[in-house]
Amino acid sequence: MKHAYDHYLSQTAKELQPSGIRKFFDLAATMEGVISLGVGEPDFITPWSIREATILSLEQGYTSYTANAGLLELREEITNYLATRFGVQYDPNNQIIVTIGASQAIDLAFRAILNQGDEVLIVEPAFVSYAPLVAIAGGKPIPVSTSAANGFKVTAEQIEAAITEKTKAILICSPNNPTGSMLTKDDLMELTTVINKHDLLVVSDEIYAELSYNGDFCSVAAMEGMYERTILINGFSKGFAMTGWRLGFLAAPKEIAACMLKIHQYTTMCAPIMLQRGALEALRNTYHEVESMRNSYRRRRNYMVQTLNQLGLECHTPGGAFYVFPSIRSTGLSSEQFAEELLVQEKVAVVPGHVFGESGEGYIRCSYATSMEQLQEAMRRIKHFIETRKKVLCPTAAQSTIQS
């Protein structure tokens, strides 16, 4: 039906699809007793000393704008952090921008580099904002599908096959949302050869860098030949349990950073000063808390992977982030049906894999950033859901499986 406002609205905005994650989240919010494995958000509260530093900064009257790129003190601390944790050296004066979450950094990156029709390769399954943000910036998102057989890792051949003369950049997210897959140094080495050969830029979403369980996280910018072509994106949301603070940052070659800063200064001005002061405390004094959260996620990951496999939902062991991405093909349901029926029948909210791209069909994303008790209860309900379904489909076979 043609809407009265149709001719006022931008074609690009009209064509955007609402996020598939929100749909399930909103539905779950209308029901009681739902266990949500749907949202990608730490169940921990931001460490106290970060909150305290922010409260103190308000008491001390820190209420003004900051430099567009953020407090120099914070940019210096971010520079230290990137150098000591990931071995990449930046200049705080002209290579770092403090943003409103990694979300804004991704938006800035695409706006700064894309001309109309430029193509961006997006390794799928992928976080839901990438393709819409490419489209908003006038570019064309080109999906490159990965599969469980390859641990959801993209290969150099796949990238090479997707490149055209219009390809400007590739978006890489490791550790990955939704699959949890990690690209090791060796994996990246293979990819960078093609990226260099075709002179592409990389938008590297490293928001889950602190949540790498085998300690083998490697920043794309640290790889040989990649520093000059990488826009590194990171932030405080996940590792430091600061989602609601909306604080992220980016690091890039000077010319690209300068271009992004122009857009940032007109659209955003700067991130809130009191939160930037809290972030200073995060980078200076809270690694022990980040580590303790990481250890807790690791225990939950191990539990989830083991239990899902026991239930017949084949699940690879993710190297990072806080998601598992099990296959639900054995149930004969599509991911949308599985997620919907599970929510209605057992009150467990998960995200159907197809919202992360076509290659996510046949999978569901479960976030394990929730308490162990909740996870155990969710697994009991999923077990019940699967057993009930088996009984309906094949009463005698189900009987023997359940008894065994």
Ligand X SMILES: Cc1ncc(COP(=O)(O)O)c(C=O)c1O
Minimum CB–partner distance for residue 11 and ligand X (Å) = 26
Q: 192, 227 in Cβ contact below 8 A?
A: no
Q: Which stretch binds ligand X (CB under 6 A): 55-63, 235-243, 269-277, 287-295?
A: 235-243
CA distances from 164 to 168, 382, 396 (A): 9, 44, 54
> What residue number has its CB nearest to ligand X?
101
Distance CA 243, CA 237 (A): 4
Closer residue to ligand X (CB): 103 or 307: 103
Handedness of CA 329, 334, 339, 345 (dihedral sign): negative
SS3 state of residue 311: coil
Number of residues forming the site for ligand X (CB under 6 A): 13
Does residue 180 sit in helix, strand or coil?
coil
- For CA atoms 207, 214, 21, 129, the dihedral sign is positive
Q: Who's near 336: CB < 8 A, 6+ residues apart?
A: 352, 354
Give the per-residue contact string, 299-318, with ligand X (x = CB under 6 A; - = no).
--------------------
3-state SS assignment for residue 290: helix
Candidates 11-19, 99-107, 268-276, 337-345; binding stretch for ligand X (CB under 6 A):
99-107
Which x/- pattern over 174-203 shows residues binding ligand X (rule: CB under 6 A)?
Answer: ---x--------------------------
Identify which of residues 194 and 271 has a Cβ nearer to ligand X in the complex.
Answer: 271
Q: Of residues 101-120, which lie at the interface with ligand X (CB under 6 A)?
A: 101-103
Stretch that binds ligand X, among 100-108, 150-158, 162-170, 301-309 (CB under 6 A): 100-108
For ligand X, the closer CB: 123 or 163: 123
Q: How far is the CB of 118 from ligand X (least distance, A)?
A: 21
Which residues inside 14-73 make contact with ligand X, applying CB under 6 A? 40
Among 57, 192, 243, 296, binds ligand X (CB under 6 A): 243
Burial class (CB in 10 A: 0-12, 13-18, 19+), 395: exposed
Find the binder of ligand X among 74, 183, 207, 355 (CB under 6 A): 207
Q: Is 173 in the site for ligand X (CB under 6 A)?
A: yes
Question: Does the protein bind ligand X through residue 237 (CB under 6 A)?
Answer: yes
C-alpha closest to that of 37 among 307, 244, 290, 282: 307
Residues 6+ apart with CB under 8 A from 7: none
Q: Which residues bind ligand X (CB under 6 A)?
A: 40, 101-103, 127, 173, 177, 205, 207, 235, 237, 243, 248
